[in-house]
Structure 1
Amino acid sequence: MTADTETSTTDTITEAAPADAAHAGGGWLRVAPAMFLLAWGGNHFTPLVHMYEEDGGYAIWQANLLLGMYVGGLIPGLLVASALSDRHGRKPVLIAGSLAAIAGSIGLGFGFDLFWLLCLGRVLAGVGVGVAMSVGTSWMKELSAPPFDHKAGITAGARRPSLTLTLGFAMGAAVTGCLAQWGPVPEVVPYAVHGVLNLAALVIVLFAPETLPRDLRAGGHWWNGLHVPLVAHRTFLRLIVPAAPWVFGAAGVAYAVMPAIVQGEMGEWTTLYATVLTVVTLGVGALVQNIVPWINRLTGGRALVVGLGLMTVGMGLGAVAAPLADPILAFVVAIVLGVAYGICVVAGLIIVQAIASPQELAGITGVYYSIAYSGFLLPTLLAALLPVLSYTVSLAAVAVICLGCLTAVAISTKHP
Structure 2
Amino acid sequence: MTLDTPGSSTAVQPLGPGAWRRPAFGALVVAWGANMFASLLQTYRGDLSQVQVTTLYGAYALGLIPALLVLARLSDRWGRRAVLGSGLVLSAVGTLVILLSGNDFAGILAGRVLVGVSAGAALAPATAWIRRLSDDAGSGAAGARRAASALTGGFALGPLVSGIVVQWFPAPRPVAYLLHVVLVGAALLALRGTPEPPAARPSAGTIPGPGLRTVLGGRLFLFAIVTTAPWVFGAATTALAALPVLVPLGGYGAVGSGVIAATTLGAGILVQPLAQRLERRSPATPFRVGVLAVVVGMLVATVTVATGSVALLVATAVVLGSAYGLLLVSGLRLVQALVPDQHAAVATAVFYALTYVGFAAPVVIQALAQVWNPEAVLVGVAALAVLSLVSTSLAWTRRRAEA
Could you tell me whether the CA contact under 8 Å between 2:84 and 2:123 is conserved in 1?
no
One-letter code aligned to 1:276: V
Are residues 299 and 160 of structure 1, via their aligned partners in 2, closer, same or farther at CA, if it must alter by over 3 Å?
Answer: same
One-letter amino acid of the structure 2 residue matched with residue 403 of structure 1: V
Query: Which of 221, 232, 243 is the matching residue for 1:258?
Result: 243
In structure 1, how many angstroms separate the alpha carbons of the residues matched to 2:205 and 2:221?
26
Select between 382-391 and 320-329 the one with higher mean Cα deviation: 382-391
Matches within 5 A, 1:7-406: 18-21=12-15, 24-53=16-45, 55=46, 57-146=47-136, 149-150=137-138, 152=139, 154-213=140-199, 216-220=200-204, 225=208, 229=213, 230-263=215-248, 266-299=249-282, 301-406=284-389
Separation (CA, whole Å) in 2 of partners of 1:59 and 1:195:
28
1:334 Cα shift? 0.5
Asked if the contact 1:254–1:334 (Cα under 8 Å) also holds between the matched residues in 2, the reply is yes
| Counterpart Cα distance in 1 of 2:96 and 2:208 | 31
Query: TM-score scaled to structure 1, two decimals?
Result: 0.89
State the distance in 2 between where 1:164 and 1:407 align: 30
Q: Is the contact between residue 83 and residue 122 of structure 2 (CA under 8 Å) also seen in structure 1?
A: no
Q: Runs of 5+ in structure 2 lacking a partner?
A: 1-6
TM-score normalised per structure 2? 0.92
Answer yes or no: is the 8 Å Cα contact 1:83–1:226 preserved in 2: no
Q: Compared with structure 1, are the counterparts of its residues 319 and 17 closer, same or farther at alpha carbon in structure 2 (3 Å cutoff)?
A: farther
Secondary structure of the corresponding residue to residue 242 of structure 1: coil
Larger mean CA deviation between 75-84 and 378-387 belongs to 378-387
The letter of the residue matching 1:130 is: G
Distance 1:97 1:218 in 2: 23
Structure 1 297/225 Cα, relative in aligned 2: closer, same or farther at 3 Å? closer
Percent same amino acid among aligned pairs?
35
- Name the amino acid aligned to 1:45: F
Structure 1, residues 391-415: CA drift from partner, whole Å, max 9, x if none? 2121111010011111111122233
Contact 2:59 2:113 in 1 (8 A): yes
- Residue 384 of structure 1: how far off its partner (Å): 2.2
**Of 297-306 and 102-111, the range deviating more from structure 2:** 297-306
Task: Assess, with a 3 A threshold, how the Cα gap between structure 1 residues 59 and 302 changes in structure 2: closer, same or farther.
Answer: same
Please state how far the C-alpha of 1:221 moved relative to its aligned partner: 7.2
Q: How many residues align?
A: 390
* 1-structure distance, mates of 2:289, 2:396: 11
Shift of 1:50: 3.0
SS at match of 1:308: helix
SS of the equivalent of 1:113 reads coil
What SS does the aligned partner of 2:369 have? coil
Structure 1 residues 384, 312: closer, same or farther in 2, change over 3 A?
same
- Residues 82 and 134 of structure 1 are in contact (CA less than 8 Å); yes or no, is this contact kept in structure 2? yes
Deviation at 1:44? 0.4
